[in-house]
Amino acid sequence: MSDYLVNLVIAHLDNGTDMTISLKKLPSEEIIASSSVQFQHNGHIGRIIEKPSPDDITSPLSAPLTFVLPGAISDYLP
């Protein structure tokens, strides 16, 4: 496992959250082909917009689909 993934799992365990999402800073011209992350006032992710219009981009951060999920998620998967 790469250091990147190890560090992501360690951050997940250290923070005790239900889910951890890796974010990537991208220029606007790349975000419109990817996703835009909108944050709530408390700093938590409020919404991820896939392939946003330029007007929907509220931050330079994108969610490249690297998630750490709890093992219990397997109860909901076939």
Query: Residue range 33-60: average pLDDT?
Result: 91
Q: Are 42 and 3 in contact (CB under 8 A)?
A: no
- For residue 31, what pLDDT band results from cuts at 50, 70 and 90? very high
As a whole number of angstroms, the distance between CA 58 and CA 30 comes to: 14
Say what the pTM is. 0.68
Neighbours of 32 (CB within 10 A): 16
Q: What local confidence, expressed as pLDDT, does residue 55 receive?
A: 92
Q: Which two tokens stand for residue 55?
A: 């007007």
Q: What local confidence, expressed as pLDDT, does residue 14 receive?
A: 93
Q: Are 49 and 23 in contact (CB under 8 A)?
A: no
Q: Where are the domains of the chain?
A: 3-68
Q: What local confidence, expressed as pLDDT, does residue 71 receive?
A: 79
Distances (CA, A) of 52 to 12, 31, 74: 27, 7, 30
